[in-house]
Structure 1
Amino acid sequence: MPRRATIYDVASEAGVSISTVSLALNTPARVSDRTRQRVLQAADSLGYTPKPDAVAKARKGVGRIGVIAPYTSYPSVARRLRGVLHAVGDRPLEVVIFDHPSAARSPSPLLAGLPLTGRLDGLIVVSLPMEDSTAERLTGLGLPVVLVDVSRPGFDSVHTDDAEGGRLVAEHLVERGYGSFGFLGESQESEAYVSPGQLRLAGFRAALDEAGHQLPSEGVHFTEHGLEQATAAAEELLSGPQRPAALFAGDDTLAAGALRAAHTLGLDVPGDLAVAGFDDTELAQALDLTTVRQPLEDSGRAAAELLMQRMGGAPSAVREITLRLELVGRGST
C-alpha cells in the first residue's frame, strides 16, 4: 500500500515551510496568491488530503457538498440555501456552508482552496466570480461544480438574466411617467469579471436609452454593501442639484438605504422619489418596495439537483438553466 502524503511532503514539494502550508490551506488570505497556488499545486500532485477530513470521511460514510456564498452580506443567499437543503432532503449527503464576505470581492482564496481543505465531493458556488486559475484547478481535480447567479463556460449553472431584470425596472418606471433616473449599486473591487449588479445597470441603461431617456453619469453611485453605507451614498446622490425622480438600487438592501435616505431628507416616496430594488426579499415586502422577484429557492433547488446528478455520473455536457424574473410593483413607485 503506497505511503499517504503528509504535510511535510507538501512543504518539500512546494519549497515552503510547514507553517506556510498550514496557512495556505486554513487561512489562505494570509499568504500571497503565488504562494497559495504553489502549495495547492503541490498538494494536488501528491494527492494530499488533510488527515482530519480523511478520518471524517471514513467515519461518516456520506457524501459532502460544499456551498460557498456571501451569506452574512446578502439576505437573498439564505433563501437559495433553503432551496439546496430542500433538494438534498434526507439523502446521505452532508451540506457544509462556507461564508465569503462579498460578491464584489474577487478573487476568493477561500474558493480556491475549498476542494482540499473542505474535503468535498461536490461544490455549489453562489454569486461569486471565479478566477481562471481556480476554474482550471477545479476542472483538473474533476470536482463536480454548479454555479448559481453567475455563469462560466465549462460549468453547470443556474442563473437569471440580470440585464433583463434591469430592463424590467426601466420599463416600469417609464410607464409610471418618471422622466429622470438614478442608479445605486455595489462597488466592485475587481474589473476582471462582470457582476450581476453591472448587468442590471447595463440593462437598465439600455432600456432607458431605447425609451428616449438618459441615465447621467452623475446619477450613478456605487457603495459598499450594507444598509448604513447605502444610506450615506443615497443621501449624497439625492442631495445633488440634479436629483432623479426615480432611483433603481441593485438589490433590496441598497434600496432600503435609499428609502431611509429619502426619509432623512424629507422626500415623499413615491411623490418626490420613486425607489425600486432587486430580489424581492422579506425586507422588500415589509417596506412595500417595488422590486424584481428572483426565484431564489428554486435556484438553490435546481443547483442541488444538477450537482447530485453530476455526482451520480450524469452526462458530461454542460447544462445551463435560466430562471424567469418578475417585476413586482408596490407602493414605492
Structure 2
Amino acid sequence: MSRRITIYDVAARAGVSISTVSLAMNSPTRVSQAMRTRVYEAADALGFEPKTEAVARARRGVGRIGVLAPFSSYPSFYARLNGVFAAARDHPTEIVLFDHRWVGAASPLLSSLPRSGGRLDGLIVMGVPMEQAVADRLRESPMAIVLVEGRHDHFDSVRIDNVAGGRLAADHLVERGYESFGFVGEAQRSHRYRSPSEKRLQGFRERLEELGKLLHPQNIALIDLHADPDTSTHGVMPRLLRPPAALFAHSDTLAARVLREIRSRGIRVPHDLGLMGFDDSELATSLDLTSIRQPLHESGKAAVELLLDRLRNPDAPEREISLKLQLTPRLTTATHS
C-alpha cells in the first residue's frame, strides 16, 4: 500500500516551509502568486490530497456550495446572492461565501480552491475572470463549477448581453429626443478582462453611430468606483467638455453619484440633462431613475440550478443561460423637447 502524501512532502518538493504550504492552501492571499504556483505545482505532481477532502466525501449527502463574488464592492452581487439562497432553500445544501473585492481582477483564492476547497461540492464564480491556468486546475478538481457574468468553454455559465444593454440605452435616449450623449463608467482595472462597463460603452457607442449620432470621446468619463464616494465623481461634468443632453451611467450606483454631483452644480434632471443607469435596483426606484433591468435575482437562482444539475449529471454537455434585459423608463429621462 502506497504511503499517503503529506504536507511535508509538498514542502520538500517545492523547497519551502510547511507553513508556506499551509498558507498557500488555506490563506492564499497571504502568499505571492509565484509562491502559490510553486506550491500548487508540487502538490499536483505528488498527487497531494488535503485531509479535508475525506471529510467532504463523508458529507456529500448535505452538500456545500461556495459562492465567490465581489460582494463588498458591488451591491448588485447581493441581489444575485439572494437568488442563490432562494434556489438552495429547498435542497440540503450549505452556502459558503468568499469575498473578492474587484470585478475583473484575478482571484488568488480561486487559484487555490482545487486544493484548499476540498470541502466544497460546487462553486459559483461571479464577476471574476477565469484565467486558463486556473480553469485547467478547476477542471481536474471534483468540484462542479458555474460562472455568472463570465464564460469558459468547459464550464456552465449564466450571463447577460452587456453590449445589447448599451444598445438598448442608446435606442431609449434617441427615442426620447436627445441629440447629444455622454457615458460615465468604471475604469478598466485589467486589460486581461473586458468589464461590463466596457461592453456597455461599446454597445452604446455602436448603436448611436447606427442612428446617426455621435458619442464624442471627451463625453466619456471612466472613474474609479472604489474611491471615496464623496469625491469619485467630482468634476465629471467639467471633464465632459460639451455637456451632453443625456448621460448613460453603467450602473445605478454610479448614476446616483453622478446625480448628486450634477445637482450640486445647479443642473436640473431631466430639464437640463437626461440620466439613466443600469441594474434597475431599489436605488433606481427610489430616485425615479430610468434604468435597464438585468435579472440579478434570477441569475443567482439559475446558477444554483445549473450547479445542482451538474452535480447530478457530471458528464452532461456544458450549458449557457442568457437572461434578457428590460428597459424601465422613469422621470430622469422624461421626453426631451
Q: TM-score range by the shorter chain?
A: over 0.9
What is the SS of the residue equivalent to 2:48? coil
C-alpha separation in 2, matches of 1:74 and 1:297 = 14
Give the deviation of 1:134 after TM superposition: 0.6
Matched with 1:43 is 43
Matched with 1:251 is 251
Matched with 2:137 is 137
Instruction: Please give the root-mean-square deviation of Cα atoms over the aligned residues, in Å.
Output: 2.0
C-alpha separation in 2, matches of 1:317 and 1:202 = 31
What is the SS of the residue equivalent to 2:137? helix
For these two proteins, the number of residue pairs brought into alignment is: 331
Gaps of 5+ in 1: none
In the superposition, the TM-score normalised over structure 1's length comes to 0.92
Query: CA, structure 1 residues 28+116, in 2 after alignment: closer, same or farther (shift >3 Å)?
Result: same
Give the deviation of 1:64 after TM superposition: 1.4
Matched with 2:221 is 221
User: What fraction of aligned residue pairs are identical, expressed as a percent?
Assistant: 52
What is the SS of the residue equivalent to 2:37? helix
C-alpha separation in 2, matches of 1:225 and 1:234 = 9
Give the deviation of 1:227 after TM superposition: 8.0
Question: Deviations 1:226-269 (Å, cap 9, x if unpaired)?
Answer: 4844x645432212431122111111111111111112111101
1:66-105 to 2 correspondence within 5 Å?
A: 66-104=66-104
C-alpha separation in 1, matches of 2:220 and 2:24 = 39
Conserved 8 A contact 2:184-2:249? yes
Query: CA, structure 1 residues 61+143, in 2 after alignment: closer, same or farther (shift >3 Å)?
Result: closer
- Specify the code of the residue in structure 2 equivalent to 1:97: L
Conserved 8 A contact 1:227-1:256? no
Give the deviation of 1:61 after TM superposition: 5.2
Give the deviation of 1:148 after TM superposition: 0.7
Conserved 8 A contact 1:222-1:233? no
Conserved 8 A contact 2:225-2:232? no
Matched with 2:116 is 117
C-alpha separation in 2, matches of 1:96 and 1:194 = 27
C-alpha separation in 2, matches of 1:57 and 1:285 = 46
C-alpha separation in 1, matches of 2:94 and 2:14 = 32
Query: CA, structure 1 residues 23+314, in 2 after alignment: closer, same or farther (shift >3 Å)?
Result: closer
Question: Deviations 1:16-65 (Å, cap 9, x if unpaired)?
Answer: 22222123223323333222112123233444344456447646852111
Conserved 8 A contact 1:144-1:307? yes
Conserved 8 A contact 2:121-2:142? no
C-alpha separation in 2, matches of 1:314 and 1:55 = 21
1:238 maps to 2:237: yes
Gaps of 5+ in 2: none
Give the deviation of 1:143 after TM superposition: 2.7
C-alpha separation in 2, matches of 1:21 and 1:29 = 13
C-alpha separation in 1, matches of 2:179 and 2:282 = 29
Conserved 8 A contact 2:60-2:121? no
What is the SS of the residue equivalent to 2:235? helix
Conserved 8 A contact 2:224-2:232? no
